Structure 1
Amino acid sequence: MINQVTLVGRLTKDPELKWTTEDRAVLNLTVALNRFGKNKRVDNDADFIQCVVWGKRAEATAEFCSKGQLIGIVGELQSRNYLNKEEQKIYITEVLVHQIRYLSSRNKEEHIVNIVQEDDE
């Protein structure tokens, strides 16, 4: 079976690095992707894709990325669920990031920065 996702989009907010109780870095991102073609409903229509980054890759992404920056992601689709305070089951689908490329710099210069972070797990 194949489970591979490739996305290019812009970050919707500045990344906020968090740490698990096992002292492992985790970063949740939302990437905005413009719609084109038949699926486009209105001008400036976009999809907002939830992504999760772990370990050293999460630390580097938090350091080098900011809101509005163009990034490329390669990862896999995963789904999970949990019970909220009202005991309702909440389902989440997100991209587990394996590689990330920073396609624009924070200071909006014209050059492209290509940094590929290999799996650190």
Structure 2
Amino acid sequence: MNVVILTGRLTRDPELKFGQSGKAYSRFSLAVDRMFSKDGDVDFINCVAFGKTAELIGEYLRKGKKAGVTGKLQMNRYEVNGEKRISYDVIVDTVEFLEPKNAPAGGYDTPSYNPEPEYVAPRPNPVEARKVDDMRSEDIDDEFPF
């Protein structure tokens, strides 16, 4: 099974192009944090999308925006000046935009957290609380038959 799931930030604006047949394709790269790295290591993953997905990526995603991608890993072999090379791309099946369209690139503008609650319930008067605790069952009227 060949399934890749990534969440990261775009390292550059996506390149939206159209092939000879008129089909759209988009190339972009995601910076994906390594989960268990103490040094904050990042992997840069090349991605390619086709069709309507490529058009949406080209229209809405920009450098620094967070996105989730699912797809397949594809190995490409090619030759440059007689030297054999290998590269890997993720062929994108689906993409999720993980930030709102108008959010600044690189993260949300979130309001600061206020640890003080807006409403604090009043504390019961200790004298009143004692009165309720001291009541006996015979002090309560039997209004209900059960």
CA distance in 2: counterparts of 1:19 and 1:41, whole angstroms:
41
Distance of aligned partners of 1:21 and 1:89 in 2 relative to their CA distance in 1, 3 Å threshold: farther
Greater percentage in strand = 1
Amino acid at match of 1:96: I
Q: Which has the higher contact order (CA 8 A, sep 6+)?
A: 1
Q: Secondary structure at the match of 2:102?
A: coil
- The sequence identity of aligned pairs, in percent, is 36
Query: Taking structure 1 as the reference length, what is the TM-score of the superposition?
Result: 0.79
- Equivalent residue number for residue 48 of structure 1: 44
**Residue-pair matches, total:** 106
Q: 1:33-58 deviations in whole A, cap 9, x for unaligned?
A: 11232xx262x321101111011110
Q: Which runs of 5+ in 2 are unaligned?
A: 109-146
Residue 21 (structure 1) shift: 2.1
Residue 22 (structure 1) shift: 2.2
- Equivalent residue number for residue 27 of structure 1: 26
Q: 1:28-79 deviations in whole A, cap 9, x for unaligned?
A: 1100011232xx262x321101111011110111001111111001101111
- Equivalent residue number for residue 118 of structure 1: none
Query: Taking structure 2 as the reference length, what is the TM-score of the superposition?
Result: 0.67
CA distance in 1: counterparts of 2:12 and 2:75, whole angstroms:
23
